[in-house]
């Protein structure tokens, strides 16, 4: 793909000016409408990645622009020295439509989880059990990049070189009830899991397992935290994925799609633990920012509509069918899994570890897909992506696969 001087300069600036924590793909998005992005050289791409499950209503949504501009005319920021109407409206919406009794607002998924984990320890502490501070987490999980959340997450590489990890965290195999029975104890403050492990390869936890986790947490007086940063806000066909599991957590974290592209995180808690974080025990300057909350209110109104729910189901089926068709001739995929518009296609053995190569080839054909590890191609597009956009995206992916697989 040839790059203009301007595009090449921007990419080279990213190499030279930023700490190299990322390896950005070699185009530069400039603007977008719906699920189409146009780069600085005028090429257009169907966006099947949704900014990693964030742009829930696509790019340049009229509804979200209106919510943002209306709020921008009024008030941008006042800090937590005050409260504001958009923040209270959002808290009320989240409480009305979930199990939660209280909300803590922050700015990202990692911060929402940081608050959830601190809440769990503080809840035990408040109950006169300061020795109950252990956290049980699952291999393959991802909860963010702060020290507490990398210590909790299931990828040991993310902890390397940062000094001692936060102590008191045990990792066990997902979907192994006996492993949890063995690990849980009166010292367990909380068990944390994603109903579908997103970064870990779009791996759903079994329903029976989740039911057993709930039961064991209740028996041992531990909190159950669901990290719904990736699965939440309509992505799996219900507002939150827990609604499909018959399991109600004590704490749930949300971010990503909640802001539709505005940075926001929320920690939701129900029952007695919702009272755990009292004055001055936790905080953040931007949490509950009126601009982010105004947009999130509009996101929630939209994603709860029957039309979006239907679209999540229909487009999810369309992507899965499309992938099955593309993969069947050469047996490309070992498994296509996920729910609604969070889909992972795991590469079969002959194509092992080629997800990145496929992502780059797809980009060259005009379609953005995500990877989840070296062996899974991931799809997390806008919940309002159209049938035509999916059709074009899958067709372009097909062309890319033909080229990259040399057939």
Ligand X SMILES: Cc1ncc(COP(=O)(O)O)c(C=O)c1O
* Minimum CB distance to ligand X, residue 194 (Å): 5
User: Which of 100/394 has CB closer to ligand X?
Assistant: 100
- Which of these segments, 89-97, 194-202, 332-340, 398-406, binds ligand X (CB under 6 A)? 194-202
CB 299 within 8 A of CB 384: no
Selected binder of ligand X within 116, 212, 213, 229 (CB under 6 A): 229
Nearest to residue 385, comparing CAs of 324, 285, 316, 325? 316
- Residue 102, both tokens: 């209280």
118 binds ligand X, rule: CB under 6 A: no
User: Which of 143/203 has CB closer to ligand X?
Assistant: 143
CA distance 159 to 144: 11
212 binds ligand X, rule: CB under 6 A: no
User: Which of 7/267 has CB closer to ligand X?
Assistant: 267
* Minimum CB distance to ligand X, residue 310 (Å): 25
114 binds ligand X, rule: CB under 6 A: no
Q: How far is CA 149 from CA 121, 168, 401, in A?
A: 14, 13, 36
109 binds ligand X, rule: CB under 6 A: yes
Task: Spell out, one character per residue from 253 to 292, where the chain touches ligand X: x when CB under 6 A holds, - when not.
Answer: --x-------------------------------------
Residue nearest to ligand X (CB): 109
* Minimum CB distance to ligand X, residue 199 (Å): 5
| Number of residues engaging ligand X in binding (CB under 6 A) | 15
* Minimum CB distance to ligand X, residue 286 (Å): 13
CB 25 within 8 A of CB 47: no
* Minimum CB distance to ligand X, residue 112 (Å): 7
CA distance 141 to 362: 27
User: Which of 93/152 has CB closer to ligand X?
Assistant: 152
222 binds ligand X, rule: CB under 6 A: no
* Minimum CB distance to ligand X, residue 159 (Å): 15
* Minimum CB distance to ligand X, residue 3 (Å): 28
Element (H, E) at 371: strand 370-371
372 binds ligand X, rule: CB under 6 A: no
DSSP per-residue string spanning 341-366: TEEEEEEPGGGTT-HHHHHHHHHHHT
Expressed in percent and rounded to 5, the helix, strand and coil fractions of the chain are: 45, 20, 40
User: Which of 32/153 has CB closer to ligand X?
Assistant: 153
- Which of these segments, 91-99, 103-111, 299-307, 335-343, binds ligand X (CB under 6 A)? 103-111
CA distance 407 to 398: 11
327 binds ligand X, rule: CB under 6 A: no
Task: Spell out, one character per residue from 135 to 174, where the chain touches ligand X: x when CB under 6 A holds, - when not.
Answer: -------xxx------------------------------
* Minimum CB distance to ligand X, residue 185 (Å): 25
* Minimum CB distance to ligand X, residue 173 (Å): 18
First-residue to last-residue Cα distance in the chain:
21
Question: Counting Cβ atoms within 10 Å, is residue 399 exposed (0-12), middle (13-18) or buried (19+)?
Answer: middle
- Residue 318, both tokens: 């369309």
194 binds ligand X, rule: CB under 6 A: yes
* Minimum CB distance to ligand X, residue 197 (Å): 8
Q: Give bridge partners of residue 291 from the DSSP assignment.
A: none
CA distance 337 to 333: 10
CA distance 148 to 152: 6
User: Which of 203/396 has CB closer to ligand X?
Assistant: 203
199 binds ligand X, rule: CB under 6 A: yes
Three-state SS string across 154-206, please? CCHHHHCCCCCCCCCEEEECCCCHHHHHHHCCCCEEEEEECCEECCCCCEECC
Interface ranges with ligand X (CB under 6 A): 52, 108-110, 113, 142-144, 194, 198-199, 227, 229-230, 255
């Amino acid at each position: 793909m040839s790059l203009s001087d301007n595009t090449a300069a921007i990419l080279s600036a990213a190499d030279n000016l930023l700490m190299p924590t990322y390896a950005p793909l070699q185009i530069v998005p400039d603007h977008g409408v719906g699920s189409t992005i146009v780069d600085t050289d005028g090429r257009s791409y169907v966006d099947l990645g949704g900014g990693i499950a964030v742009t829930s209503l696509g790019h340049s949504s009229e509804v979200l622009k209106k919510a943002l501009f209306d709020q921008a005319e009024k008030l941008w920021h006042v800090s937590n020295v005050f409260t504001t109407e958009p923040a209270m409206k959002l808290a009320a919406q989240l409480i009305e439509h979930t199990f939660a009794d209280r909300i803590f607002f922050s700015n990202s998924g990692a911060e929402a989880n940081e608050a959830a984990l601190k809440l769990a320890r503080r809840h035990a502490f408040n109950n006169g059990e300061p020795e109950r501070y252990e956290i049980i987490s699952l291999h393959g999980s991802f909860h963010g990049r702060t020290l507490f959340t990398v210590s909790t997450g299931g990828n040991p590489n993310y902890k390397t070189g940062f000094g001692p990890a936060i102590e008191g965290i045990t990792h066990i195999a997902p979907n192994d009830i006996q492993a949890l029975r063995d690990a849980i104890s009166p010292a367990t403050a909380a068990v944390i899991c994603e109903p579908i492990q997103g970064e870990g390869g779009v791996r759903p936890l079994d329903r029976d397992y989740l039911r057993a986790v709930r039961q064991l947490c209740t028996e041992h007086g531990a909190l159950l935290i669901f990290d719904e940063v990736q699965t939440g806000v309509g992505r799996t066909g219900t507002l939150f994925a827990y609604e499909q599991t018959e399991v109600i957590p004590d704490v749930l974290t949300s971010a990503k799609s909640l802001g539709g592209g505005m940075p926001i995180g929320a920690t939701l808690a129900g029952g007695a633990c919702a009272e755990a974080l009292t004055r001055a025990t936790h905080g953040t300057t931007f949490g509950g920012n009126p601009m982010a909350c105004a947009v999130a209110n509009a996101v929630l109104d939209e994603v709860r509509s029957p039309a979006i729910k239907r679209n999540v189901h229909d487009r999810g089926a369309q992507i899965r069918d499309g992938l099955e068709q593309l993969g069947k001739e050469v047996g490309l995929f070992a498994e296509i899994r996920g729910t609604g518009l969070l889909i992972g296609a795991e590469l079969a053995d002959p194509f092992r570890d080629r997800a990145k190569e496929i992502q780059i080839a797809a980009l060259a054909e005009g379609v953005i897909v995500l990877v989840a590890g070296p062996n899974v191609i991931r799809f997390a597009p806008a919940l309002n992506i159209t049938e035509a956009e999916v059709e074009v995206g899958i067709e372009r992916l097909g062309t890319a696969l033909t080229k990259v697989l040399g057939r």
